[in-house]
């Protein structure tokens, strides 16, 4: 039954990603825009309606950050919360909503790191950090948030049985 919950959670995550993400991405983009002058220099600006564009002071596009690479961890987080014994319980849905809200500043930081990775020299730490986030960091963040926000009860449910319980079950 739990595998069905995860499948439904992934479908809900895809629907959330497709329909709600434009507003969600706008919140992350607005938060990232605050730090652009300090990180890139005076005159740089973020723009774009779907993907994030970093504009130079001359108005040229310096970097394009594909939001689908930044926000794929939304699907992962929702699927992980769907793995709970009671996925539609108010407490589980609340923790999932908190996790999604915590991802907004994470996505803002990811936008900045990925944009900076495009405008720096090859081999720099920024390039490595941008690639690391897009390849595995975004999903690792989902797992970290899920493990921090799930309750002790749900953690005990997913833990393997203790040796004494295994012995009694074998009898």
Binning the chain into helix, strand and coil, the percentages to the nearest 5 are: 70, 5, 20
Rounded-to-integer distance, Cα 89 and Cα 82, Å: 10
Largest CA distance in the chain: 76
- Region for residue 124 given its phi and psi (left: phi exceeds 0; alpha: psi -120 to 50; beta: otherwise): beta
CA distances from 104 to 57, 64, 86, 95, 113 (A): 26, 19, 26, 15, 14
Rounded-to-integer distance, Cα 8 and Cα 93, Å: 14
Local confidence band at 78 (pLDDT 50, 70, 90 cut-offs): confident
pLDDT at 64: 94
Give the range among 11-20, 56-65, 82-91 with minimum mean pLDDT: 11-20
The two tokens of residue 110 are: 């990811």
Local confidence band at 155 (pLDDT 50, 70, 90 cut-offs): low
Instruction: Check residue 63 and report its DSSP letter.
Output: E
Tell me what the mean pLDDT of segment 26-51 comes to: 91
For residue 113, count other CB atoms closer than 10 A to its CB: 23
pTM score, whole prediction: 0.80
pLDDT for 87-133, tens place per residue?
A: 888 999 999 999 999 999 999 999 999 999 999 988 899 999 999 99
pLDDT at 161: 60
pLDDT at 67: 87
For residues 158 and 99, the model is more confident at 99
Residue closest to 111 by CA, chosen among 144, 134, 139, 141 = 134
pLDDT at 165: 58
Residue 45 β-bridge partners = 55
The two tokens of residue 92 are: 């589980």
- Residue 8 three-state SS: helix
pLDDT at 162: 62
Local confidence band at 164 (pLDDT 50, 70, 90 cut-offs): low
Give the list of residues 6+ apart from residue 122 with CB closer than 8 angstroms, or none: none
Q: What's the CA dihedral at 137, 143, 145, 147 to 10 degrees?
A: -150
């Amino acid at each position: 039954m739990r595998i069905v919950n995860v499948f439904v959670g992934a479908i809900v995550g895809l629907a959330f990603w497709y329909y709600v993400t434009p507003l969600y991405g706008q919140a992350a983009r607005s938060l990232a825009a605050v730090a652009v002058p300090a990180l890139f220099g005076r005159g740089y600006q973020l723009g774009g309606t779907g993907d994030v564009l970093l504009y130079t002071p001359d108005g040229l596009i310096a970097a394009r950050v594909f939001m689908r690479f930044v926000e794929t961890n939304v699907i992962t987080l929702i699927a992980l919360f769907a793995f709970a014994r009671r996925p539609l319980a108010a407490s589980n849905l609340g923790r999932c909503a908190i996790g999604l809200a915590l991802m907004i500043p994470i996505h803002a930081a990811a936008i900045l790191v990925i944009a900076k990775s495009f405008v720096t020299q090859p081999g720099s730490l920024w390039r490595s950090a941008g690639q690391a986030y897009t390849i595995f960091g975004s999903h690792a963040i989902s797992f970290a948030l899920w493990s921090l926000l799930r309750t002790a009860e749900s953690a005990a449910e997913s833990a393997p049985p203790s040796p004494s319980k295994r012995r009694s079950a074998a009898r």
